[in-house]
Amino acid sequence: MRPNFSFISVLLIAMVTNISLSAQSLRWGAQAGVNINAPDSENTRIGFNVGGKAEYNFRSPSKGWLVDAEVNLSYIPYGQKVSYEHETTPGGTWQPSKTADFNNNTYFLNLPVTAGYRVAVSDNVSININAGMFFNVGLWGRAKLKYPGFDMDESSFKKGSEGGDMKRFNYGAIVKAGLQFKEHYQLSVSYNNGLSKPGYNHAMTNRQRMFNISLGYIF
């Protein structure tokens, strides 16, 4: 039987068209932003993130359902500064106030994955709301504790009384709102709510409560 070249040609054209449309639906970009970490009972700390993202649009870049995933180098600091104003000696003598300053300067590979819906509000502006999960993988960091008569500087991920006691892995939920301009420039504001404890000891059991503001460009 001789092959039907017309049928084969139509099939090839359809396959190439489908691949082209799929490629247009998947977009890549880069972004950078500021982290504002404010866990319960700890002081607020400011960090940053920089990395890339991928976005799949089910309808078009300006409206419809979408899924996006990011890979960021993220500096997420933790810390507390506690004043002891009424400390006494064993004999009952009043002592001057003392301050313990603890800082855990940690760097993570941050992997947020979300799904959402985008609405076009004008020809050049769209808004979207997303929700999903984030995963953090610890890379490196330094834990520093300063107290009268004591000074510690160790790895953030070293377990024990002489280390930062941070876990290498933690995860949580994320919600995000975004603005897109001309289908390429993106501004997003997100909130990360940790579902796992970031550390082992009692000082590092406060789950992550982090806001993030990022600017990005997607191709």
- Locate the domains of the chain by residue range: 22-82+96-218
Q: Are the C-beta atoms of 164 and 106 separated by less than 8 Å?
A: yes
Structure tokens at 83: 């004043």
- Total residues belonging to the chain: 219
What is the pLDDT at residue 143?
84
pLDDT of 11 over the 50 cut: no
Task: Encode 200-213: b = buried (16+ Cβ within 10 Å), e = exposed.
Answer: eeebbebbbbbebe
Binned at pLDDT 50, 70 and 90, residue 48 comes out as very high
Domain 22-82+96-218: CATH architecture, name and number where available: Beta Barrel (2.40)
Q: Are the C-beta atoms of 36 and 74 separated by less than 8 Å?
A: no
What is the pLDDT at residue 166?
83
Higher-confidence residue of 194 and 7: namely 194
pLDDT of 86 over the 60 cut: no
What is the pLDDT at residue 40?
66
Range 121-125 average pLDDT: 94
Residue in the block written with tokens 């082209």: 20
Structure tokens at 38: 């404010």
Say how many C-beta atoms besides its own lie within 10 A of residue 64's C-beta.
Answer: 16
Say how many C-beta atoms besides its own lie within 10 A of residue 46's C-beta.
Answer: 11
Residue in the block written with tokens 């409560």: 209
| Model confidence, pTM | 0.76
What is the pLDDT at residue 131?
97
- Cα 21 to Cα 13, 160, 179: the distances in Å are 12, 54, 24
What are the two backbone dihedrals, phi and then psi, of residue 10, each rounded to the nearest 5 degrees? -65, -40
What is the pLDDT at residue 85?
53
Residue 158, judged by CB atoms within 10 A of its CB (0-12, 13-18, 19+), counts as: middle
What is the pLDDT at residue 12?
47
Residue type, 13: I
What is the pLDDT at residue 116?
96
Residue type, 118: R
pLDDT tens, position by position, 132-174: 999 999 999 998 877 766 777 888 888 765 666 788 899 999 9
- pLDDT mean across residues, the chain: 81
